[in-house]
A and B are shown apart, each in its own frame.
Chain A
Amino acid sequence: MARIVISGNYAQSYAAKLARVDVISAYPITPQTSTVEKLAEFVASGELPAQFVKVESEHSALQVVVSASALGARTYTATSSQGLLLMHELMHWASGLRTPIVMGVVNRAVAPPWNIGADHTDTISQRDTGWIQFYAESNQEVLDTVLMAYRLAEDPAVRLPVMVTEDAFYLSHTVEPVDVPEAREVDLFLPKRDARAVLVPGMPGRVGSFTGPDHYVEFRRELAKATERVIPILQQVEEEYGRVVHRYHGGPLTTYRVEDADAVLLTMGTASTTARSVVDEMRAEGQKVGLAKLRLFRPFPTESIRRLAGEVDRLGIADRSFAFGSTGPVETEVSAALYTAPHRPALSGFFAGIGGRDVTPGEIRRMYDALLHGGPTENRWIDLEEQEARAHG
């Protein structure tokens, strides 16, 4: 185990190297670039004996790893924002072909106007593509989650692509101490890919194919069943990672000081760190607040949300994106999860940190205040309210 100070992007690169990926393919986009630059260095120096296919678009990057994975290779790619949107068609191919690709995504706002700040619209837009989606809070979590993602993706009962996301700049370009496990530890946890149901040279067979309604439904149902197996298998994967690497990130939904809390705020990504410190401050003032951090957005951890809801009366959801014509995407999921729950807390949705706007302690406090002292704030676009509050001193 070596402790080094690296960015979230480098945490992705180190994890891919430790996973001994066979094929990498990527196209540069801000703020993902340093991940693939580092991987290019690893390959050039001989530290990582992988094929790195430098392509002419993100669309091709994902096709390269889909095809490489279909032949049995362990693969990695990384992108962000517009690049992810360009991949959209291939996103469905990756899950439909059951290729266990792991992709790093830097969450960045979507144009227009051009904006490279943190925002979850890009990955939320890929919600229904059949990918597993993890949102990381720290660079350590990025590295550990990428390694666990390979085990999860390649599990014979899962065989699905996984994305591990990190907020633009807050993680992608911010350095933190990260404990990097030894290669031999990772090798124990993550042996070579056991490739099944792939193309075999010299053997007739077709991966993909076409069907009428007679078989198509069965394919989709198999995909759905695979996603249903993710959460129990994730628990095994995390336990095993903990045994070998001695770190545990707490399942799809982790909680902080929610016992006896009058109000709990649910966050994804880096807003969680700020919220945790606000919880401590407010608790010190005698205000009973807690935090729930959502790590896994797809598949959505419905059971964990219901368990949490059983303990609280007021639940706030801080979305870092907005679903036009609806509301916060995470808020929608939580609402749906709780409709049939025996205990349904009052829900308030907030939109905070859009397009790289800082989610400040003041904003978090404003959300807790709204939860504790009445219904939702008048303006649920917290960024705008904060701006106004600042303008009026």
Chain B
Amino acid sequence: MISVPPSERDLHAYVDHQLNDDDRRLVETFLAGNVEMSAQVRAWQQDAQQLRAALSGALQQPANPDLDPALIRQRLKRQSRRHLASAAVLLITVSIGGISGWKAREMTLLSAAAPMADAMQAYRLFAQQGFLPADYRVSDDGDMQGWLDRYFTQAHRLPDLSGAGFKPVSGRLLSTEQGPAAMVVYEDPSGHKVSFYVRPPGPKNFMLPRGSRSDGELQAEYWSGSGYNYAMVSPSDTPAAQMLKQTEQF
């Protein structure tokens, strides 16, 4: 309920039909006994009325076909298909790229026994064989963490391996049975490669205790945290592998 005499704000609210019935009646009673305020309010009302009349013509413009929502929608769809097409080129599946379906099935069966096998497979494909170019490459002032954060917002930070001479050089997006994954490849000046791999734990929410395992010539350190599984992969029996084993925190 407004007070009497009404404030200027109440008078504006009256002009704009934003008062409830009781308040509106209060204002009307007040205005009936106050010539000056009544003139003021009427002038405002008249300005509003004039403005409505003056601007009503602008509603009658001939239609502009460029503004048809259906057309705009189609245009947007074409644009996003183009974006999707280019993204699809970048996103390739670990289980399709390089290994047979049967092998992939084996991998799934083994996944509990061989944690983060996909991280090692990705290392073989991309770090060792150089299969397909990277999606993201660090230039001099590149920001690998920024690139990774676009896809894995809450994930652990990229480990700083600069003490051992390793710097992140390239990143790749992958799709796995557990969901989208990213691999960042580090390199040292002599060309040794180490990878950081992150992906969701999968539909079974399979979280890993911190561990380490070898598979062929590769070694993986793996762990879970912030809702993702991680692995650091490097060739076994190299100084880099030793360094990763000894690094307590990633």
Report whether chain A binds chain B. no
B interface vs A, CB < 8 Å? none
